[in-house]
């Protein structure tokens, strides 16, 4: 029996889909590319914005028409937000509740048999991890969040924080290393909340970086006002933890942060960043920014622009605020007109390009480690440094794909490093 997957949304969703693939392989299913005929199709949805949810459900409607005999499975956050009547109208064969998602393959197999399908026998030779469709692997260490920021639906769709057992995380990481992944990305809904007994995120990072065969470890985003200073201290002394810190600061205005119900101030973020840069002058810094939040005046936006200009962020994700039904912010007054939201996004994206180019310039003549991801038609290798800079390298072959290569950039183009090997 064949199965295909369509995933919407965040890195965490992609990490979970990789786990789904492994579970279905162990259950004896043959994975086929999405878009080709399959006996079972899993749609892993996103609901962080209304448009993301709508796109997920639109795909289901289209699939029902194109694949009338396929067993359609709906999983992910839209299960919690779309509403029973909407889900019934889609022609879905199985809706997977949140508490069954970790056992998706077993859950689906039971329902397939109940509906009269002949399921494959378990595959004892199935791989521990899915096929390497990417060059780095994501390690999901926790799920859920209870911060309840006013713009965010995630606590309602993913529930309370739940951490994976410490040893289970290490076992999965060992399997990924054994499968040949040279970079592992630690991910979760809110990884700063990780706790197993008295062991914290930093304890887990310490154990992961000690695993034999690991090339390097990369962190997902860390909520400001949590464990970021402990992480910075560990990162400073760790040769295998990528020197890249992503902070979803969302705004550079204290009034907007308070309205968002964030747990820090602009000054606290600034102090944290300066401490990190004092310890690691070449640290890559990422941030998520929401512009056009209700009540964001021109002065409040200017505070955000000034903060981003002041600090050396190298990787900015700029989003226009999007009303998400079911969140407090969707009922707030002071809405910023859509054209103004787009204008503010464009202004910050221009700043983003300038800052990334400036950051890349600092690495000319400085050795960097690059995870090679592909070779283009011109024979040039492409990959990413530990600081999350893209790099183009001449002199490599297909054999270097998925490998870590040390090179010295001699130029940069629009934030991309250019290097060659002898």
CATH of the domain at 325: 3.80.30.20
Mean local confidence (pLDDT), 17-36 = 92
β-strand partners of 72: 41
pLDDT one-digit tens code per residue, 90-134 = 889 999 998 898 899 999 999 988 888 877 777 654 444 434 445
Does residue 262 form part of some domain? yes
- Last residue within a domain, chosen from 64, 82, 114: 114
Q: Are residues 51 and 93 in the same domain?
A: yes
How open is the CA angle 149-155-160, to the nearest 5 degrees?
A: 125
Q: Percent of the chain at pLDDT above 70?
A: 97
Whose CA is closest to 412, among 361, 367, 372? 361
Residues 110 and 252 both lie in one domain: no
Structure-token match 């469709």, residue found: 133
Average pLDDT on 138-164 reads 96
Query: Looking at residue 294, what is its pLDDT?
Result: 98
Query: Is it the case that residue 422 has pLDDT exceeding 90?
Result: no
Co-location of 241 and 320 in the same domain: yes
**Residue 130: what pLDDT?**
39
β 30-31/2-7 pair status:
parallel
Domain final residue pick, 114, 145, 176: 114
The domain containing residue 169 runs over which residues?
137-359
Tens of pLDDT, residue by residue over 361-391, are: 999 999 999 999 999 999 999 999 999 999 9
What is the model's pLDDT at position 128? 41
Assess if residue 123 is contained within a domain: no
Check whether residue 355 and residue 385 sit in a common domain: no
**232 in the same domain as 101:** no
Q: Inform me whether the pLDDT recorded for 229 exceeds 70.
A: yes
pLDDT of residue 158: 94
- Answer whether residue 202 is part of any domain: yes
Give pLDDT, residue 125: 45
Asked whether residue 147 carries a pLDDT value surpassing 80, the answer given is yes
Of 179 and 347, the one with more pLDDT: 347
What is the greatest pairwise CA distance in the chain? 64
- Taking residues 131-140, report their average pLDDT: 73
Reduced 3-state DSSP string for the chain: CEEEEEECCCHHHHHHHHHHHHHHHHCCCEECCECECCCEEEEEECCCCHHHHHHHHHHHHHHHHHCCCCEEEEEECHHHHCCHHHHHHCCCCEECCHHHHHHHHHHHHHHHHHCCCCCCCCCCCCCCCCCCCCCCEEEEEEECCCCCCCCCCHHHHHCCCEECCHHHHHHHHHHHHHCCCCEEEEEECCHHHCEECCEEHHHHHHHHHCCCCCCEEEECCCCCCCCHHHHHHHHHHCCCECCEEEEEEECCCHHHHHHHCCCCCHHHHHHHHHHHHHHCCCCEEEEEEEECCCCCCHHHHHHHHHHHHHCCCCEEEEEECCCCCCCHHHHCCCCCCHHHHHHHHHHHHHHHHHHHHHHHHCCCCCCEEEEEEEECCCCCEEEEECCCCEEEEECCCHHHCCCEEEECCCEEECCEEEEECC
Question: How many Cβ atoms sit within 10 Å of the Cβ of residue 318?
Answer: 19
Nearest to 57 by CA among 98, 33, 14, 86: 86
Q: Do the domain assignments include residue 47?
A: yes
Choose the final residue of a domain: 314, 329, 359.
Answer: 359
Query: CATH no. for residue 380?
Result: 2.40.50.140
Residues 79 and 168 in one domain: no
Band the pLDDT of 135: cuts 50, 70, 90: confident
Query: For residue 404, is it left (φ>0), alpha (ψ between -120 and 50) or beta?
Result: beta
Is residue 315 a contact partner of residue 284, using CB atoms and an 8 Å limit? yes
Report if residue 129 sits inside a domain.
no
Q: Are residues 237 and 377 in the same domain?
A: no
Q: Which of 59-68, 214-223, 233-242, 256-265 has the lowest mean pLDDT?
A: 59-68
The total number of structural domains in the chain stands at: 3
Look at residue 209 in the predicted model and tell me its pLDDT. Answer: 98
Same domain (yes/no): 321, 342: yes
Could you tell me if 326 and 396 lie in one domain?
no
- Would you say residue 127 lies in a domain? no
In a domain, 130, yes or no: no
Same domain? For 73 and 148 the reply is: no
pLDDT at 6 over 50: yes
pLDDT of residue 392: 97
Confidence band (pLDDT; 50, 70, 90) for 299? Answer: very high
Which residues, listed in sequence order, are joined to residue 406 by a DSSP beta bridge?
A: 369
Residues 158 and 303 in one domain: yes
The first and second tokens of residue 13, run together, are: 């969703």
Confidence of residue 421 (pLDDT cuts 50, 70, 90): confident
Query: 178 and 282 share a domain?
Result: yes
Q: What is the arrangement of strands in the sheet containing 416-420, beginning at the earlier edge strand?
A: 404-407, 368-375, 381-385, 390-394, 416-420, 411-413
- Dump pLDDT digits (tens) for 163-222: 999 999 999 999 999 998 999 999 999 999 999 999 999 999 999 999 999 999 999 999
Mean pLDDT of the chain: 93
Determine the pLDDT at residue 91: 87
132 in any annotated domain: no
């Amino acid at each position: 029996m064949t199965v295909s997957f369509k995933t919407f949304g965040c890195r965490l969703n992609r990490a979970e889909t990789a786990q789904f693939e492994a579970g279905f392989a162990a259950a004896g299913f043959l994975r086929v590319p999405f878009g080709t005929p399959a006996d079972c199709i899993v749609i892993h949805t996103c609901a962080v914005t209304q448009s993301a949810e709508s796109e997920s459900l639109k795909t289901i409607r289209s699939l029902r028409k194109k694949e009338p005999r396929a067993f359609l499975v709906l999983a992910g956050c839209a299960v919690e937000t779309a509403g029973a009547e909407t889900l019934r109208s889609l022609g879905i064969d199985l809706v997977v509740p949140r508490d069954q998602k970790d056992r998706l393959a077993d859950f689906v197999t039971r329902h397939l048999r109940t509906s009269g399908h002949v399921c494959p026998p378990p595959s004892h030779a199935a791989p521990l991890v899915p096929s390497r469709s990417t060059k780095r692997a994501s390690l999901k260490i926790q799920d859920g969040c209870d911060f309840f920021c006013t713009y965010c639906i995630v606590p309602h769709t993913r529930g309370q924080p739940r951490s994976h057992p410490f040893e289970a995380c290490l076992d999965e990481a060992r399997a990924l290393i054994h499968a040949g992944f040279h970079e592992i990305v630690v991910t979760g809904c809110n990884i700063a909340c990780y706790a197993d007994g008295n062991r914290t995120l930093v304890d887990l990072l310490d154990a992961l970086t000690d695993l034999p065969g690991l090339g390097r470890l990369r962190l997902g985003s860390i909520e400001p006002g949590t464990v970021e200073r402990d992480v910075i201290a560990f990162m400073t002394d760790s040769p295998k933890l990528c020197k890249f810190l992503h902070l979803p600061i969302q705004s550079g205005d204290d009034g907007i942060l308070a309205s968002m119900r964030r747990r820090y101030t602009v000054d606290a973020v600034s102090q944290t960043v300066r401490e990190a840069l004092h310890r690691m002058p070449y640290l890559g810094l990422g941030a998520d920014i929401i512009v056009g939040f209700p009540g964001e005046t021109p002065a409040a936006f200017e505070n955000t622009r000034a903060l981003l200009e002041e600090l050396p962020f190298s990787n900015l994700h700029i989003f226009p605020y999007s009303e998400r039904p079911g969140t407090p912010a969707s009922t707030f007054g002071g809405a910023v007109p859509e054209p103004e939201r787009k204008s503010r996004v464009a202004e910050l994206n221009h700043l983003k390009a300038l800052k990334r180019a400036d950051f890349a310039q600092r690495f000319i003549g400085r050795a960097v480690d690059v995870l090679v991801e592909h070779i283009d038609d011109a024979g040039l290798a492409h990959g990413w440094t530990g600081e999350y800079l893209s790099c183009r390298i001449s002199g490599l072959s297909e054999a270097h794909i998925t490998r870590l290569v040390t090179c010295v950039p001699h130029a940069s183009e629009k934030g991309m490093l250019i290097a060659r090997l002898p």
